[in-house]
Amino acid sequence: MNSNRFPLRAGHAARFFNDNLGTITTAERVERLNSLDIHEAAGVLATLPQQKAVRILGRPELHHAAAMLTEMPVEHAARLLNATANDRVADLFQEMDEGARAHLFSKLDRATSLAVQHLMGYPPRTAGSIMTTEFVSVPASWTVERTLEHVRKVERSRETVYAIYVLDTETQALISVVTLRRLITGEPQASVLSVAQQGGIVKADPLMTQEDVARLIRKHNLLALPVIGEEGHMLGIVTVDDVIDTMIADQTEDAQKFGGMEALGKPYMTISFAGMLKKRAGWLCALFLGEMLTASAMQHFEGELEKAIVLTLFVPLIMSSGGNSGSQATSLIIRALALGELKLGDWWRVLLRELPTGIVLGAILGLVGFGRILLWQSIGLYDYGEHWVLIGVTIFAALIGIVLFGSIAGSMLPFILQKLRLDPASASAPLVATLVDVSGLVIYFTVALLILSGTLL
């Protein structure tokens, strides 16, 4: 597209990387390219030998890869993409704007464009969208020797040979998996099935979520997981390195959501100022609006507040304890749900654990709180008045109620979100704190009314 102003000087890349010895790794090249601006980086990438450029393009860590491709002469970009893993090409197309995508797409070779179109048809975050269609398969009728011969031939063109998939000669359905290391131990003239794995084949549906794919790969210690379509046809494989990338991205998302914001989707230093504000302001405002109910609750108890200003002193302390115990419970349950340690139906088991836990934790904090009032009163640091014992009892009882409520609300919220088919990871620490703050105030003043009525109130 921009071929007239594009620097395709020979030796450009070699000079940039200064690697006539070929000792720097692809990951290092990616880092060096990331430090350049898009135009410069595209120039270096375009003058690298194709094999090296393709390895660099294959890395999701490369910044602005889609933009670099649109900077290059379109035929050159297409040549690189034809040689790049199909799943990565689909991801790159996803990042391009409509015009550049259509133009470049028309220049791809037929096999690549078909595969990419196919991959882009799957919903994001499913096995179909993260799989690669480049895998090695052989008919069940082949011998070990013929299979080895085939692997030797395709070794250079396939992303990675993790395993060889054996298909039924008639139906093309996947019937067995052979690892490379078993294959080389086989008798050359024996059937490829003689070295096949025993036991069931672990496989995924193309619409399986990427989280479930990651869980299967982890559970069975796989290097690649075959994705099977209707009628048992094999569509592709999800490889362990794609799953690691997926896991990292998911966990970053979960951590940011738990912090009380939308997931950034980009590294902290590369997101724009406006983008950062957008991701943070939304939840912050929502939480602020929710937290406004605390002002209403305080207004409701204004009469009590005026009569016993001493009660206001403990409002922040008591409220935060509810939030903290809720945050603990939420982080435990979100993680246990994410790891599959707990299922939706386990909510009542969790409730039965959190009930005594909340009561004991609340009583511990309550004793500390009572101790503080006792101590301050006895050494004369502060005078809580003649009813200081009753105030201490109020604090003790309120803390049990609030920590219990925090533990229960915090542990049940992820289940409720999951039940509503929302992401349990949206149950952030600030969201739980906000929920617990309002009810915490109500619990506190209700307990105070019960205990202090007739004395202070």
What is the closest distance, in whole angstroms, from the C-beta atom of residue 381 to a copy of itself in the complex? 9
Contact indicator for 165, 150 with CB cutoff of 8 Å: no
Q: According to CB under 8 A, which one of 288, 389, 422, 449 is a site residue for a copy of itself?
A: 288
Q: Is the Cβ of residue 71 or residue 254 nearer to a copy of itself in the bound state?
A: 254
- Give the ranges where 175-313 is alpha helix by DSSP (H): 180-183, 210-219, 240-258, 273-300, 302-307
Q: How many alpha carbons fall within 13 Å on the CB side of residue 389?
A: 0
Residue 124 burial (CB count, 10 A) = 11
**Pick from 404, 402, 401, 399: nearest CA to 373:** 399
What is the closest distance, in whole angstroms, from the C-beta atom of residue 133 to a copy of itself in the complex? 19
**CA 171/CA 133 separation, integer angstroms:** 19
- Site track for a copy of itself across 7-26, x = CB under 8 A: ---------------xxxxx
Q: Which residue stretch of 98-106, 138-146, 229-237, 294-302 sits at the interface with a copy of itself (rule: CB under 8 A)?
A: 294-302
Q: According to CB under 8 A, which one of 112, 126, 321, 394 is a site residue for a copy of itself?
A: 321
Q: Which residue stretch of 9-17, 39-47, 259-267, 449-457 sits at the interface with a copy of itself (rule: CB under 8 A)?
A: 259-267
Q: According to CB under 8 A, which one of 178, 392, 437, 457 is a site residue for a copy of itself?
A: 437
Q: How many alpha carbons fall within 13 Å on the CB side of residue 396?
A: 16
**CA 234/CA 390 separation, integer angstroms:** 72
With binding defined as CB under 8 A, does residue 209 bind a copy of itself?
Answer: no
With binding defined as CB under 8 A, does residue 330 bind a copy of itself?
Answer: yes
What is the closest distance, in whole angstroms, from the C-beta atom of residue 311 to a copy of itself in the complex? 10
**CA 81/CA 107 separation, integer angstroms:** 10
**Pick from 369, 359, 375, 376: nearest CA to 392:** 369
Question: Among residue numbers 72 through 131, which ones bind a copy of itself (CB under 8 A)?
Answer: none
Q: According to CB under 8 A, which one of 37, 231, 306, 386 is a site residue for a copy of itself?
A: 306
Cα of 401 vs its chain's centroid, Å = 34
Q: Is the Cβ of residue 130 or residue 333 nearer to a copy of itself in the bound state?
A: 333
With binding defined as CB under 8 A, does residue 421 bind a copy of itself?
Answer: no
Q: Is the Cβ of residue 104 or residue 412 nearer to a copy of itself in the bound state?
A: 412
Q: According to CB under 8 A, which one of 42, 78, 130, 333 is a site residue for a copy of itself?
A: 333
For residue 414, what are the CA distances in angstroms to 289, 339, 346, 367? 21, 13, 12, 30
What is the closest distance, in whole angstroms, from the C-beta atom of residue 384 to a copy of itself in the complex? 10
What is the closest distance, in whole angstroms, from the C-beta atom of residue 171 to a copy of itself in the complex? 20
Tokens of 392: 């201490």
Contact indicator for 395, 369 with CB cutoff of 8 Å: yes
Indicate the angle between helix axes 50-57 and 74-82, nearest 10 degrees: 80
Indicate the angle between helix axes 50-57 and 26-34, nearest 10 degrees: 70
Q: Is the Cβ of residue 1 or residue 201 nearer to a copy of itself in the bound state?
A: 201
Q: Is the Cβ of residue 104 or residue 448 nearer to a copy of itself in the bound state?
A: 448
Question: Among residue numbers 148 through 207, which ones bind a copy of itself (CB under 8 A)?
Answer: 148, 151-152, 155, 160-161, 180-182, 184-185, 198-200, 202
- How many residues line the site for a copy of itself (CB under 8 A)? 117
Q: Is the Cβ of residue 8 or residue 295 nearer to a copy of itself in the bound state?
A: 295
Q: According to CB under 8 A, which one of 267, 345, 380, 454 is a site residue for a copy of itself?
A: 267
**Pick from 412, 399, 403: nearest CA to 349:** 412
Q: How many alpha carbons fall within 13 Å on the CB side of residue 334?
A: 27
Q: According to CB under 8 A, which one of 1, 175, 264, 393 is a site residue for a copy of itself?
A: 264
With binding defined as CB under 8 A, does residue 422 bind a copy of itself?
Answer: no
**CA 423/CA 253 separation, integer angstroms:** 11
User: ∠379-381-386 over CA atoms, to 5°?
Assistant: 80
Q: Which residue stretch of 5-13, 36-44, 124-132, 248-256 sits at the interface with a copy of itself (rule: CB under 8 A)?
A: 248-256
With binding defined as CB under 8 A, does residue 380 bind a copy of itself?
Answer: no
With binding defined as CB under 8 A, does residue 328 bind a copy of itself?
Answer: yes
With binding defined as CB under 8 A, does residue 246 bind a copy of itself?
Answer: no
